[in-house]
Amino acid sequence: MAHSKQNSAQKILGLVTYGMPTPVRQVVTSRWIATLIVIVVPILVVSGILSISWNGYQPSFNIDQKRAVQVERDVEQEATRAAQELKAFQDSRRR
C-alpha cells in the first residue's frame, strides 16, 4: 500500500500526539487539520486567548473567554476602520 507524503505540520503533530489513541491521531494528523492547528494555535496563544500549562507530560488547555471577546471586538473595529478607509480611497480615485 502506497503512503502519501506528509507535510511538516503532519509530522510535527504526529510527534506531539505520539501515544494518543489511533483515531485521535488520525484526525489530528490529517493534512488540513494539522495545517490548521499549526497556524491557529500559535495565533491563539500569542493573542492571549489560549494558554497551555503542563502537568508532567500532559498539557492542559485553558481558554480565556473575556480575552476572546475583547479580541473579537478589536478585530471588528479594525475591519470596520479598514473598510471605511478603502471606501474613502475608492471615492477619492473616482474624482
pTM greater than the 0.75 cutoff: no
- The 10s digit of each residue's pLDDT in 52-70 is 998 887 778 899 999 999 9
Q: For residues 45-58, b (16+ Cβ closer than 10 Å) or e, as one string?
A: eeeebbeeeeeeee
pLDDT at residue 47, rounded to an integer: 93
- The 10s digit of each residue's pLDDT in 1-50 is 456 788 888 888 888 888 888 888 888 889 889 999 999 999 999 999 99
User: Alpha carbon of 35 to those of 66, 72, 92, 95: distances in Å?
Assistant: 27, 23, 40, 45
Say if CB 72 and CB 44 are below 8 A apart.
no
- pLDDT, mean of residues 60-88: 94
